[in-house]
């Protein structure tokens, strides 16, 4: 479990790190601790680090800071941060979960690892990983989709028209699929998107439709 070495972090308590990588399906089978408590702590650590970053680097109102922070700590964002850490090969899940290590689990474990770093090394070490992993992603604004599905839904509701997402394509090997989705409003295509998960593809399709400011 040396994936943190390249970020100059050496966790002393290896059992704590192992717990951060352990899903409840595994702990139920093996009667051991899982990442859920560490996830709770890591979420708080991530919130304070992002809040500090936004306060000191972006001239935003309180409301806009709250919305921006929410997009930076959402599931899809944390799953992106997890890709940078590259800890997926070390995740422990139960037999029934082996083929379903989805973005939700990966995002939760990212937060658990931040909690682990905080407990073992302190806030400065957590901030160092944050600066190496999260801030570069923040500066690449395109990965933060926000919840465009909700925005589009609100827009469509005012017109009482039907909104539907259709999976129109899949490509790539089973372990690295790319999904393509179209969003239709009253059976007219308004947006398209692709992503590593159906959820990501749907958000990108919704963003495409929303940003076109379609006349609904």
Give the model confidence (pLDDT) of 8-23 as tens digits. Answer: 999 999 999 999 999 9
Q: Residue 144 has what pLDDT?
A: 60
Catalytic residue among 103, 111, 120, 202: 111
Burial 115-137 (b: 16+ CB within 10 A, else e): bbbbbbbeeebbbbbbeebbeeb
Domains, the chain, with CATH or none: 5-143 (1.10.1520.10), 148-211 (3.30.160.20)
- Rounded to an integer, the average pLDDT of 111-133 is 97
Cα–Cα distance for residue pair 76/197, rounded to 1 Å = 10
Question: What is the token pair recorded at 49?
Answer: 């680090």
Is the pLDDT confidence value at 102 over 60?
yes
Tens digits of per-residue pLDDT, 151-196?
788 888 888 889 999 999 999 887 778 899 999 999 999 999 888 7
Decide if 111 is catalytic.
yes
Tens digits of per-residue pLDDT, 24-83?
999 999 999 999 999 999 999 999 999 999 999 988 888 878 878 888 888 888 998 999
Percent of the chain with pLDDT over 90: 56
Q: Compute the C-alpha angle 205/210/215, nearest 5°.
A: 120
Burial 56-74 (b: 16+ CB within 10 A, else e): eeeeeeeeebeebbebbbb
- pTM beyond cutoff 0.85: no
Is the pLDDT confidence value at 2 over 90?
no
Asked if 177 and 171 count as a contact pair (C-beta separation under 8 A), the reply is yes
Q: Residue 214 has what pLDDT?
A: 45
Is the pLDDT confidence value at 216 over 80?
no
pLDDT band at 213 (very low <50, low <70, confident <90, very high): low
Q: Residue 151 has what pLDDT?
A: 79
26 vs 214 pLDDT, higher one: 26
Catalytic residue among 29, 43, 75, 83: 43
Q: Residue 141 has what pLDDT?
A: 57
């Amino acid at each position: 479990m040396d994936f943190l070495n390249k970020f100059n972090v050496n966790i002393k308590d290896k059992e704590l790190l192992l717990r951060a990588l352990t899903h409840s399906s595994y702990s139920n089978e093996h009667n051991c601790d899982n990442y859920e408590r560490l996830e709770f702590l890591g979420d708080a650590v991530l919130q304070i680090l992002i809040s500090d970053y936004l306060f000191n680097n972006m001239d935003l109102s309180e409301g806009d800071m709250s919305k921006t922070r929410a997009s930076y700590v959402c599931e899809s964002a944390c799953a992106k941060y997890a890709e940078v850490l590259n800890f997926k090969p070390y995740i422990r899940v139960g037999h029934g979960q082996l083929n379903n290590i989805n973005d939700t689990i990966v995002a939760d474990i990212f937060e658990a690892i931040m909690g682990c770093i905080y407990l073992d090394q302190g806030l400065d070490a957590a901030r160092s990983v944050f600066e190496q992993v999260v801030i570069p992603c923040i500066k690449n604004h395109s990965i933060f989709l926000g919840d465009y599905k909700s925005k589009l839904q609100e827009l469509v509701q005012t017109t009482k028209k039907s909104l539907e997402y259709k999976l129109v394509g899949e490509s790539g090997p089973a372990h690295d699929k790319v999904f393509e989705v179209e969003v239709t409003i009253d059976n007219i295509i308004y947006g398209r998107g692709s992503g590593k998960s159906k959820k990501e593809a749907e958000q990108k399709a919704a963003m495409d439709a929303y940003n076109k400011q379609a006349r609904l």
